[in-house]
Amino acid sequence: MPALDRVHIDKLTKRYGTERALGGVSLELTAGAMCALLGHNGAGKSTLLGIVSTLVRPTGGNVRYHAAGREVTGADVRREIGLLAHASLCYGELSARENLELVAGLYDLDASASSIDVVLDRVGLDLKARDREARTYSRGMLQRLALARALLTRPSLLLLDEPFTGLDRGGALALGAELGALRDAGAIVVVVTHDLEAIAGRTDHVAILRRGQLAFEERGSYSYDQLKDLYHRYAN
């Protein structure tokens, strides 16, 4: 299965009862680009990420995924998605290694200790903690495990919801660099964050949502001050 190279989001709407979470959002995500999805709480960012990750059904509009010039659907799309959500998506009763073995098994990947250690090294999870139950982890360690889980499957579409939460300054900067490397390797990276400093200078595409609608969208790299200015101008 070739990597996803384009995701076309077309007039996406989502309602929860009478509440409108998204009201006609259209976006084009392309390979080798990092999109920062910004907005206040309740602006619809997580809902948009949920729909793009195929876990939330839109009320209207659609998302089309393309790989090597043809449209892909179903399990072929899910195989290419790496998701880092608010929750860790990992089992607290299993160790980091066991959690990743389970993921590797479900994705038909190499579940050997060495290949799992490579990913855990990459996210900087302490060697001594790897065989401990994940429920004993600190918030930062859990975030590293969640990131390892998302990276293990070598996704070509990486969806990250507040990835810097719980990480110390060094961890946040290292994650920023890791995301930059993934982008350079050709992945589509979408980051929902309020930590503008961590993504400053790394994004190629900024989209700002306000009350479920796209208030701003532009391709380009932005400094921290520019991002802050855009955020205050369009998110409010």
Which residues of the shown chain bind another protein in the complex (CB under 8 A)? Answer: 50, 53-57, 75-76, 78-79, 81, 83, 85-94, 98, 102-103, 105-107, 149
Q: How far is the CB of 146 from another protein (least distance, A)?
A: 9
Sorted by sequence, the CB contacts under 8 Å of residue 214 that are 6+ apart come out as 25, 26, 27, 207, 208
Q: Which one, 108 or 236, has the nearer CB to another protein?
A: 108
* Token pair recorded at residue 218: 């532009």
Q: Which one, 14 or 205, has the nearer CB to another protein?
A: 14
Q: Which one, 89 or 215, has the nearer CB to another protein?
A: 89
* Token pair recorded at residue 205: 């595409």
Q: Which one, 1 or 177, has the nearer CB to another protein?
A: 1
Q: Which one, 137 or 231, has the nearer CB to another protein?
A: 137
Residue in the structure block whose two tokens are 């007039």: 11
Q: How far is the CB of 222 from another protein (least distance, A)?
A: 30
β-bridge pairing 6-16 and 19-30? antiparallel
What DSSP line would sit under 166-216, residue for residue? Answer: T--HHHHHHHHHHHHHHHHTT-EEEEE-S-HHHHTTT-SEEEEEETTEEEE
Q: Which one, 131 or 229, has the nearer CB to another protein?
A: 131
Structural contact between residues 129 and 137, judged by C-beta atoms closer than 8 angstroms: yes
Structural contact between residues 38 and 206, judged by C-beta atoms closer than 8 angstroms: yes
How far apart (Å, rounded) are the C-alpha atoms in residues 189 and 184? 10
Q: How far is the CB of 77 from another protein (least distance, A)?
A: 8
Q: How far is the CB of 103 from another protein (least distance, A)?
A: 8
Q: How far is the CB of 87 from another protein (least distance, A)?
A: 4
Structural contact between residues 121 and 137, judged by C-beta atoms closer than 8 angstroms: no
Q: Which one, 107 or 216, has the nearer CB to another protein?
A: 107
For 17-153, strand residue ranges (E) read: 19-30, 33-38, 60-67, 70-72, 81-84
Q: How far is the CB of 92 from another protein (least distance, A)?
A: 6
Q: How far is the CB of 85 from another protein (least distance, A)?
A: 6
Residue in the structure block whose two tokens are 């608010």: 86
